[in-house]
A and B are shown apart, each in its own frame.
Chain A
C-alpha cells in the first residue's frame, strides 16, 4: 500500500537524482531542424490572405455600384429635332415611334451599336415626312422657287409639284418666270 508520505519521499528521492539535461549539440540540431522546417513565406501569405480578400470584395462591390449608378444615370441620347411646324400630336407620335424603335433595338440586338437599323429606318421616314423645302428656303418666294427647281433637277417631281402648289398658295402674287 502506498501513502501520500511514501509518494512524497519517493518523489523527493527522485528529484535528488542527477538532473540530466539534453546535450547542447542535440539542442542545436533540434532547433536548426525547427528553423529549417518553418516556412515564414507561407505565414506571410497566410497573413495577407484575409486583407486581400476583403480588399477584393470591397473593390468588386464598388465596381458593381459604379456600373449601376453611372451607366444608368447617363443622360439620354439627344432626341431628333422636331420638324418645324409639326403639330404636338404628331410630335408625340413621333416620340413614341422613337422610343419603340430604341426599345426594339435594345431587346432584339443588345450588342449592336447605337445606330441600329430600326432607328435608322425611322430617321429616313422622318426625313421623308419633312417638307423638301425647309424653313429657310420658304422665307422668300424666290428662294422657295429655287428649291422647287432644285427638286425638279433631282428628279423629285412629286415633291416639286407639291412645293410649287404650296408656294403659289403662300405667295399668290409671285410670278413664276417663264420656263428655262
Chain B
C-alpha cells in the first residue's frame, strides 16, 4: 500500500477538497449563501427560508452525531439558528457562509457542554437517533450491522476527531476551515481527520478482518 501522508489534502476525492457532497447538496447553489444572508438582513424573509432549507439538515446531523442525543441536538440547533438570525445586522460576507455557520454550531455545542457539564459520551443512548425512516424489513442484516458498527465507532471517536470528521462530511469543509473553526493549526486538524477516518475504516472492515 502506498503511503500517503498528504492524502487528506491532495487528489480529487481526498479530505478537505471534495467540492460537493451528495447529502450536502447545498454548498454551491445560486443564489450565493452570503447574498441570501444579506437579503435577509434587508428584510427578505424568503431569502432566509431558502438559506435555512439549504443547510438545516447537515447542521442538524452534525449536532445530532456530535452530541449523540436528539434533544440536545434540537436545543443546540435552535440556538445556532437564533444566533444566525441575530447576527444578520453585523454579518459581513468576508468568509464562506458555511464556515460561519459551522463555527457558530461548533461554538454553541461547546457552550452547551460547558453549561451542562456533561460529556457527550455520557449522554444516554437515544434510539430515535438510529431510526431510519426508510428502513424496511427487507434491509439486510449485514447492512444494518455495518451501520451499527460505524455509528458505534463514530460515537467512540474522541470528541475532536468526531468533530473534525463531521465538519468535513456534513459541512463539506476543508482542513483549513476545520482548523479555523476548531481553533487549532492545520496539521492538527489534518491529523484528527486522518485518525478518525482510519478508525472508522477499521470498524467497517471488522467482520472482513475476522473472517
Contacts and interface: CB of A to CB of B under 8 A. Distances in A.
A72 interface: no
A44 B77 CA distance: 31
Contact of B201 (A10, A39, A46): A10
A89 interface: no
A31 interface: yes
Contact of B49 (A2, A21, A31): A31
A9 B198 CA distance: 11
Interface string A30-65: 110111011110111010000000000000000000
Nearest to B80: A30
Given A6-B197, A22-B60, A35 B43 contact: no
B91 interface: no
A8 interface: yes
A2 B74 contact: no
A1 B131 contact: no
Nearest to B22: A15
A114 B131 CA distance: 96
A69 interface: no
A78 interface: no
B104 interface: no
B147 A16 contact: yes
A19 B61 contact: yes
B100 interface: no
A20 B40 contact: no
B201 A34 contact: no
A16 B149 CA distance: 12
Given A18-B132, A38-B40, A10 B147 contact: no
- Residues of B contacting A: mostly: helix
B181 interface: no
B194 interface: yes
Nearest to B5: A1
Given A2-B198, A29-B78, A37-B85, A17 B151 contact: yes
A93 to B, nearest CB: 73
Contacts of A19: 23, 57, 61
Which of B8, B44, B60 neighbours the largest number of chain A CB atoms within 10 Å of its CB?
B60
B77 A22 contact: yes
B56 A27 contact: yes
Interface stretch (B10-18, B27-35, B113-121): B10-18
B77 A38 contact: no
A14 B197 CA distance: 11
Interface in B45-83: 45, 48-49, 52, 56-57, 59-61, 64, 74, 77-78, 81-82
B60 A38 contact: no
Given A2-B7, A27-B52, 8 more contacts: A1-B5, A7-B13, A15-B22, A18-B133, A29-B78, A30-B81, A31-B52, A38-B40
12 contacts: A1-B198, A2-B7, A6-B197, A7-B15, A8-B13, A16-B143, A16-B146, A22-B74, A33-B82, A37-B85, A38-B40, A43-B44
Closest 9 A/B residue pairs (Cβ) = A43-B43, A18-B132, A22-B60, A40-B43, A30-B81, A34-B48, A10-B200, A6-B201, A2-B197
Interface of B: 1-5, 7-8, 11-15, 21-23, 40, 42-45, 48-49, 52, 56-57, 59-61, 64, 74, 77-78, 81-82, 85-86, 88, 129-135, 143, 146-147, 150-151, 154, 169, 194, 197-198, 200-201, 204
